[in-house]
Amino acid sequence: MCIRALLSACTGGRRAIPGLVLLVGVLLTGCQTTPRGAPDTLYVQLGERAGIARLTETLLLDIAADPRLVDDFRGTDINRLHHMLTDFLCENVGGPCTYTGDDMANVHRGLDITSTEFNALVENLVRAMEKQQLSTGVQNRLLARLAPMRHDIVNAPQPPSPELRALILGDLELSRYSAPRVDQGL
């Protein structure tokens, strides 16, 4: 069909050349298609809302089986968490969903989430994506979308450095950090 339209445009002689150039550009752009069945958005690649809901369910089940995280979710309304997390992911990957919850900083404020706990959750997310048989490329695209939110989620006070800790506990030789005393000589 694209070639037929192009050939019929060629019958206008020399005056039709500028129009023909424009027509060729439009037709070539219009004739480009993505391969059939190739999902074009992360939302579609994740299986749309139903696929995201399955991924969320798998993630929550993995968290429930993970001794590093299960205690952090005790007392949580899991049905509400499932719904909110599904909407959150859906909206953030370009889906038509609307997340109505607070931003990540407010949701996680005061929970003292450590880097170790955050990394454990990411491990569970990767495992859930593997169970859903999502390609590595799709997994990486989702992780890349979520990674910038880490600074809003990890909010536990940082432990003191080993040197400061030793100083607090009195195990550090203070003479290394103080000037020589006058009576000791230089």
Residue 81 lies in a domain: yes
- pLDDT for residue 94 is more than 90: yes
- pLDDT for residue 24 is more than 90: no
Tokens for 29? 């752009």
Question: Looking at this protein, which amino acid is placed at residue 143?
Answer: L
Give the pLDDT confidence of 119-161 residue by residue, as tens digits: 999 999 999 999 999 999 999 999 999 999 998 898 877 666 7
Residue 179 lies in a domain: no
Taking the CA atoms of 74, 105, 79 and 133 in sequence, report the sign of the dihedral they define: negative
Q: How far is Cα 93 from Cα 146, in angstroms, rounded to an integer?
A: 10
- pLDDT for residue 100 is more than 80: yes
How many structural domains does the chain have? 1
Note down the domain range covering 55.
42-153
* pLDDT top residue among 183 and 167: 167
The domain that holds 135 is classified in CATH as 1.10.490.10
Residue 170 lies in a domain: no
Contact (Cβ atoms closer than 8 angstroms) between residue 57 and residue 36: no
> Tokens 């030789």 belong to which residue?
173
Split at pLDDT 50, 70, 90, the class of 19 is: very low
